[in-house]
Structure 1
C-alpha cells in the first residue's frame, strides 16, 4: 500500500503543529492573560519560536506554543502574548499563550488545486518582489502570481530589480508600469539607498526565487544579518536555496524626518526560496476589487463575465473603446487573471 502523501513538507511551519492526545481542557474556566508580555515572532525553527519583546527589543527570547493553542499556526511576523521566562538568558524558555489579531496574511498553496493554505508571513504591509534582470532571467509568471497574492492580502507591492549592471531593466519595468507598481533598481555592489528609503517605516517581506540576490540585499541593508549567499548554476540558470527559514530583522538606524526630527525604522523579512506558488485561495472574480478604476467599468458586464480577454460584451472592452480606460492597464490586469488560472508556477 502506498504511503499517504503528507500535506506539509519539512519547510512548512504547519508540519510541526501536530495534534496531541488528551488535550481537552479539564475546566471551562480559562486563565486570563491580560498581564502577559507582548512580543513579535522573528523566526520559527521546528516548532520553536524566536521572539523579540516589546519592552526589551534588544533581547531575543525562545518560546514554545502553549497546548491550548492546538494547531493554530504561529508564523513569522505574528504578534503574540507570552508568559514564562522572557529574560532571554541561556536556557530560558517562554510560552506563547495567545495570538494577536493579524492585520494582513500573505498566503500561498502548493498548487492551484491544493485546498491547504500555507501562511508565508503575517502583519506585513509591503511585498518586495525581488527579480534579477539577468543571471537568472526574470520570470514574469512568478512576478504576476506574487502581485496577485499581494493584492489579495491587501499588501502594497514593490518590484525590486537586481543586477541592473548586466542588462537594461526598462524592458521589465515597462511591463508593470501600467499597473502602477512602484519599482527600485539595484546593481551588484551598488548603492541601495533607494531601496532603504522604500523600506523605511514599513514591515516588508522579500520574495523571490533563488539566485536573484535577496540575501545580498539583506546583508547590504542589515550589515550584521550575515545571510548566506548562493550562486546561479551556469547550466540550469537556477540558483541554490540558501535561506532555509523566514527571518525577520529590524532595520538599523532609520531615517530622520526633516519636518519632525523624529527617527523611524522598520522591519524586513527574508524568506526562503519558494519552489511552487499556488493561488488556490484567490478568487479570480475578486481580483478586480484591487483595481478601483477597472471595477467601475464592469458594472454593466453580463452575469458570469470573467473579464478575461475574449469575453463578449465585457465592460472593460467597452470602456477602452470609449476612451475611459488605458488599454495597457486592462491588458496587464488580464495577464494577472491568466496567471491565477494557469497551472501553478514552479520555481
Structure 2
C-alpha cells in the first residue's frame, strides 16, 4: 500500500481484551484519540469464561463476555474507535510504526501491544464444546466452582504443578495426569504436590477422550506403559500445558523472552521506544483480568507522555463522553429556540 494511503494515528492499541480496552479508556481520558484493533474475536480470552467472581466491583458473578461488553461500551462513551481488524505485521520505519491488517495499513506514532495469549489445548474432540462446562484453562479463575469435587489436571510443568496445588485448597480430590514418569517442573513445586494428601499423581498416562454431553462427567485415559485404557470420573478438567502469546506479527527488533512473551519493564516499556505492552502478552505468570486491566492503564499513561514529548503534531483533545455531549446538544437546542412573540393590533 502506498504511503499516501496509510491512515495516520497517534496511538494504535493492538488487542481488544481487558488490557487493550483499559488502555483505550485511559488514553482517551488523557486526550489521545486511540484506535483499537479489536481482532475478529473482541473481548479477548476472558470473553469465553462463563463466570468471574474475583473482578472488583461486581458482588455477584459476571460473565466474561458481559464484562468485556461493559468495558467496550465505556471505551466507546469516550470516543474510542474500535475496528474489527487484526494486526498481521508491524514494521518500524523512520521511528514510525507501520501496522498492516488484512484490509488497511496504518502509520502510528506509538503502539500498545495487548494481543494476549491463548492456552494450548489438547485438541480433543468436544474440548471446545465443554469449555466452561467442566473444562477449564485457569485454576485461579475457576477453582472455587469445584469445591469438594473431583478434578483432574493434565501437564507436568510448573503451570500444572502450581494449578494442582491451588486446586487442592478447594477440591476434595485432585488428579495430576502426566504422560511421563517424571515432572518437568521445579523441584520445590513437585515437592509441594507430593506433600498434599488430596493430590494423586497418575504417571505415564494420556487423556484420550472427554466424557459427558453438555457437561463433563469424566475422562478416558491411556497408560502408555502397559497400553491399557480406563475411565476416571471427575467434575472438572484443567488443561495446564502452557500458553502461547500472540506475538508472531511483531517486528524482529522487539525483545521476547524464551517463551515468546513480550519483555516489558515496570512502566510497560518494551525495548523499542514508543512501543508499550499490556495484558497477558507480557505476563507469563498471573494471567488475571484485573492485572491485565491495570497494566493497560499504566501503558496508556506512559504512551500519552511519550506522545507529548516526542510528537510535535500531537495535541491533546477535549474529552466529552456521550452523555455529556447529548446534554450539551440538548441545552444548545433549547437556547437557540426562537422566542414566541405576539404583535396584537387593536382596531
TM-score (norm. length: structure 1): 0.26
TM-score (norm. length: structure 2): 0.26
More helix by share: 2
The higher radius of gyration belongs to 2
Q: Which has the higher contact order (CA 8 A, sep 6+)?
A: 2
